[in-house]
Amino acid sequence: MDEVTRSAAHVDTVSRAAQSPDVEQPWLELGLKSDEYERIREILGRRPTSAELAMYSVMWSEHCSYKSSKVHFSLWGENTTDEMRERLLVGIGENAGVVDIGDGWAVTFKAESHNHPSYVEPYQGAATGVGGIVRDIMSMGARPLAVMDPLRFGNLNHPDTLRVLPGVVAGVGGYGNCLGLPNIGGEVVFDDCYQGNPLVNALCVGAMRVEDIHLAKASGVGNKVVLFGAKTGGDGIGGVSVLASETFDEGGPTKRPAVQVGDPFAEKVLIECCLDLYAAHVVDGIQDLGGAGLSCATSELASNGDGGMRVELDRVPLRDASLRPEEILMSESQERMMAVVEPSRLGQFLEITDRWDVEATVLGEVTDGDHLVITWHGEVIVDVPPRSVAHEGPTYHRPLERPAYLDVLHDSTPDSLPRPADAEGLKADLLSLLASPNLCDKSWVTDQYDRYVQGNTALAMPDDAGVVRVDEQTGRGVAISTDCNGRFAKLDPYAGAQLALAEAYRNVATAGAVPLAVTDCLNFGSPEDPGVMWQFREAVRGIAEGCRHLGIPVTGGNVSFYNQTGDTAIHPTPVVGVLGVMDDVARRTPSGWKAPGQVIYLLGRTRDELGGGEWAHALHGHLGGRPPRVDLDAERLLADILVNASRDGLVDAAHDLSDGGLAIALAEATLRYGVGARIWLDAVCERDRIDLFTALFSESAARAVVAVPRSEEVRFTDMCTARGQVHARIGVVDDETDGLDLQGQLTVTLAELRDAHTGTLPAVFGR
Amino acid sequence: MKIGVVTFPGSLDDRDAVRAVGAVGAEAVPLWHGDADLRAVDAVVLPGGFSYGDYLRCGAIARFSPVMEALVPAARGGLPVLGICNGFQVLCESHLLPGALIRNDHRKFSCLDQRLVVENAATAWTSQFEQGQEITIVLKNGEGGFVADDRTLDELEGEGRVVFRYAGDNPNGSYRAIAGITNERGNVVGLMPHPEHCVEPGYGPSLDGLPFFTSVLQAMAQA
């Protein structure tokens, strides 16, 4: 398109819209419903211009507006006590929540989904998922410290998994590695329910001094609105609306153009540039450009501020000169930020962006009044109340209904599954489970991520939690874990969400950190299905009430709906991330033992709980019964014991019991450093009135194994006894034992464990 | 003792290198890619990362940066220079070291706790090791396959200029399992693994990175 056809004469201006009320508009194609379109006309008192329509369509999308979920968010507030707010510096609603970790340090963390783009275009979808969450963290004023990626794929042996997984992993690695952020954990889960809807969630954590927290708001009449970073292109148009907020249908149009394309080098430079800008105190307000691009950044900044904003859209630097104004407003081109800068500091701002060769353009300024006005070559093409775009979108009270399938599932208990009758059978099940897709060694994936860059990583996968240092002088730092068993949530979304919370909480504590705050990434099917909405409500209630019980607040999160193909939704998958703090992360506890002679204790009580567990799933393809019982008091006590034991040097290794139960925890703790152990479980079986099979494979919650130096054994057991922590001495670390020796029952050599554990992913994906 | 650490746009391990220099009690001096000025340092580290995004050949653009205009003649004159990962690639592109680094043979990025054998304990950066010593150093890259023609390889071997060799399985298809090399004078060393990630207890798999930096302190003291 040449300059003439792009000129104002050919664009849809506000005055033209006022004069031509009956022009047909493509609201349906843009993902709006007819009543939503009517409401826009009502707000404006006329039809929207095509630019305004573009803005409303992306900002009122499910992804941006939370229109189906937000009526349930009152549960967060209702369940957050004043005590829980004490350490909360910034709560839900900002780009990311911020918590006070002591010594003047603030930590911000958040998870986000990039599910739909990653299915359509695995590499770029996953890469830009990392990029987006990192910019959210940057826009709080923080230096990003680390990332984690909870990933879920379809069947390991399905041909499409061979397309999706390597692309997603290469994308996560390609972007994060080049950005210089260590990837310190996450999950890799396989289940048929994710075949057409893989889940690619990304979490980032960052830190700053408390006084350096920045917020996304435009205030101060006359302050300049500056767009900086990459040029705007035609990628990712409608990413949040037509891609992320709709169900995939067979034979539908390809949605690849709606996926953004990432440039991690540009983002790395942008990070350093932003940190220099913050250090120079030249930024008044800041917002990243992610989903919904400029539409989101301009309307949110203006809506959060106390004035209006005027923007000259034709000043936006373009990669593609033929882009129309509405495309520029909708583009989700990556590696862009928008800042509000006082005029007197603009010179210094531009000097810093120049030093980093980052392009910066003054687009407009903060104005009096309460309108967001956008012009194109002098003509007004947008004139809207910004709150109506950013914060007053539609709200739906979707119908909820407990799905009928639940009764059928609950009746189909795992009790009828054939349990191994002898030691040989137990050993075979242990090795099969250890080799199963969800429990096998994930280093084919995690070795593609740089876990060491920045030199602050104290723990990373395969340990229970990722741990990074924040303060170089004192060693103060944070531990993070993300967890979710979607099968538990399918059987009972309330309990499943609490079990996800409990596991992440426990994992942080096994590392030795005090759990402090929660983020979540709620992945569900279509909200238009009452059964899915019921699952959603139950999961939110589960997390919110669980957090209240544990005394740690939810600081932010993300909702991803429409993870379904046709009528088939994924398992409800409320991924929960818990962040904990440690005084000195060099004292963290790894999840494997290495010192011979140390005594192994099992903490917590074991019940016959196999419903939704890995044994039933991986070995019998069974899903039914009830998930393990939730006992948050027991979780709280266990976490206290683990943290205190770690702090006082009473434990040298700690590993949580979750997927696959005690059998897998013992195998993993042995494999971690290749040091064996002798184990006896008779006393535990007798105490808990269970058989050896149940002791090994049940997934009862609130349990962990620890290795205690002999010199500390009395102190450790005294502490457990005094606090009422159920504990049992079940073994000893022994480097002369080759692998695991379950005394009098069975032995599994290290080589057998290793072969089973490490072969699975390379057999599918190659070396 | 001042050791310069260069920051290119896209350098990632520059802060880590600064920390490693500090860990042995030397003063780290930041050097900026855009300044042809070595700020009177006694040695230089070219850190890891993706200089200028490495969208062309790794290190190919960094080679032309102003700081390299100052560094190349200084290195030829005997200034101790350590190129780590991307820094090694920059040294090869600058012809301070022979050969080139290509995509790993398995075509993936990989991050490993890698065992190495020290083959030459007489360079400015390795004198605190024993020849034949086995050490563990973090290896993390996508393009770490060392290649050169046979004559160059024979020359490197013959002159003892192979400084590190991968122990165990060859992790990336490097010819003759070469992990690091040096120039004729032994003042310029390049390697793919990352010694700066192995200098602090509690972080990284070992402390085997420290001798790199204590070695150069000794070399500087003797100079």
pLDDT digits (tens, 9 = 90+) for B161-191: 999 999 999 999 999 999 999 999 999 999 9
Asked if A456 and B111 come within 8 Å (Cβ–Cβ), the reply is: no
Query: Does residue A388 contact residue A370 with C-beta atoms inside 8 Å?
Result: no
Closest CA to B90 of B155, B138, B31, B136: B31
Residues of chain A found within 8 Å of residue B33, distances taken between Cβ atoms: none
Give yes or no: residues A435 and A374 share one domain.
Answer: no
| Distance of residue A76 Cα from the nearest chain B Cα, in angstroms | 37
B35 in A contact zone (CB under 8 Å): no
| Domain residue limits, chain B | 2-222
Asked if B202 and A586 come within 8 Å (Cβ–Cβ), the reply is: yes
The answer to whether position A219 is within a domain reads: yes
What pLDDT was estimated at residue A9?
Answer: 55
The answer to whether position A457 is within a domain reads: no
Q: pLDDT tens digits, residue range A86-127? A: 999 998 877 789 999 999 999 999 999 999 999 999 999 999
Q: In this predicted model, which residue has the larger pLDDT, A341 or A261?
A: A341
Number of independent structural domains in chain A:
2
Give yes or no: residues A419 and A350 share one domain.
Answer: no
Residues of the domain holding A347: 1-60+215-393
Catalytic residue among A114, A617, A727, A757: A114
Residues of chain B found within 8 Å of residue A170, distances taken between Cβ atoms: 108-109
The answer to whether position A513 is within a domain reads: no
| Distance of residue B50 Cα from the nearest chain A Cα, in angstroms | 6
Domain boundary at A393, A414, A432, which?
A: A393
Give yes or no: residues A387 and A429 share one domain.
Answer: no
Give the span between the Cα atoms of A465 and A450, in whole angstroms: 16
Give yes or no: residues A417 and A282 share one domain.
Answer: no
Residues of chain A found within 8 Å of residue B196, distances taken between Cβ atoms: 455
Centre a 10 Å sphere on the Cβ of residue A159 and count the other Cβ atoms it contains: 8
Give yes or no: residues A372 and A245 share one domain.
Answer: yes
Q: Suggest the residue from B55, B108, B208 to mutate for an interface test with chain A (most A CBs closer than 10 A).
A: B108
Give the span between the Cα atoms of A267 and A400, in whole angstroms: 42
Instruction: Tell me what ipTM this predicted complex has.
Output: 0.96
pTM for the model stands at: 0.95
Give yes or no: residues A645 and A703 share one domain.
Answer: yes
Give yes or no: residues A346 and A416 share one domain.
Answer: no
Which of A177, A265, A587 is closest, CB to CB, to B53?
A265
pLDDT at A254 over 70: no
Asked if B111 and A766 come within 8 Å (Cβ–Cβ), the reply is: no
Catalytic residue among B33, B58, B85, B143: B85
Give the mean pLDDT of chain A.
94
B64 in A contact zone (CB under 8 Å): no
Give yes or no: residues A246 and A375 share one domain.
Answer: yes
Asked if B52 and A585 come within 8 Å (Cβ–Cβ), the reply is: no
For residue A84, the surrounding DSSP H or E stretch is helix A82-85
Residues of chain A found within 8 Å of residue B106, distances taken between Cβ atoms: 766-767
Centre a 10 Å sphere on the Cβ of residue A177 and count the other Cβ atoms it contains: 26
The confidence band for A3, taking pLDDT boundaries of 50, 70 and 90, is very low
Give yes or no: residues A317 and A415 share one domain.
Answer: no
| Distance of residue B111 Cα from the nearest chain A Cα, in angstroms | 5
Burial per residue of B84-114, b for 16 or more beta-carbon CB atoms within 10 angstroms, e otherwise: bbbbbbbbbbbebbbbbbbbbeeebbbbbbb
Say which amino acid occupies A430: L
Domain boundary at A326, A358, A393, which?
A: A393
Closest CA to A740 of A724, A727, A726, A756: A756
The answer to whether position A176 is within a domain reads: no
Q: Residues of chain A whose C-beta is under 8 A from some C-beta in B?
A: 170, 173-174, 177-180, 263-266, 268-269, 356-357, 446-458, 469, 472, 475, 585-588, 766-767
The answer to whether position A196 is within a domain reads: no
Check if CATH label 3.40.47.10 holds for domain B2-222: no
Say which amino acid occupies A427: K
Q: pLDDT tens digits, residue range A565-620? A: 989 999 999 999 999 999 999 999 999 999 999 999 999 999 999 999 999 999 99
Nearest residue of chain B to residue A173 (CA atoms)? B109
Query: Does residue A11 contact residue A376 with C-beta atoms inside 8 Å?
Result: yes
What pLDDT was estimated at residue A1?
Answer: 40
Residues of chain B found within 8 Å of residue A457, distances taken between Cβ atoms: 203-204
Nearest residue of chain A to residue B172 (CA atoms)? A767
The answer to whether position A159 is within a domain reads: no
B198 counts as catalytic? no
Give yes or no: residues A428 and A386 share one domain.
Answer: no
Give the mean pLDDT of chain B.
97
| Distance of residue A456 Cα from the nearest chain B Cα, in angstroms | 7
Q: pLDDT tens digits, residue range A297-318? A: 999 999 999 889 999 999 999 9
Treating both helix axes as pointing N-terminal to C-terminal, what angle do A423-435 and A661-673 enclose, rounded to 10 degrees? 70
The answer to whether position A119 is within a domain reads: no
B208 in A contact zone (CB under 8 Å): no
pLDDT at A252 over 60: no
pLDDT at A330 over 60: yes
Asked if B53 and A180 come within 8 Å (Cβ–Cβ), the reply is: no
What pLDDT was estimated at residue A94?
Answer: 79
pLDDT at A248 over 70: no
The average pLDDT across A543-565 equals 96
CATH code, domain with A329: 3.90.650.10
Closest CA to A118 of A47, A173, A193, A197: A197
The answer to whether position A129 is within a domain reads: no
Which of B9, B108, B202 is closest, CB to CB, to A269?
B9
Give yes or no: residues A436 and A317 share one domain.
Answer: no
What pLDDT was estimated at residue A257?
Answer: 67
Q: Which residue has the tokens 């963390």?
A: A109
DSSP string for A121-166: SHHHHHHHHHHHHHHHHHTTTPEEEEEEEEEEES-TTSHHHHHHHH
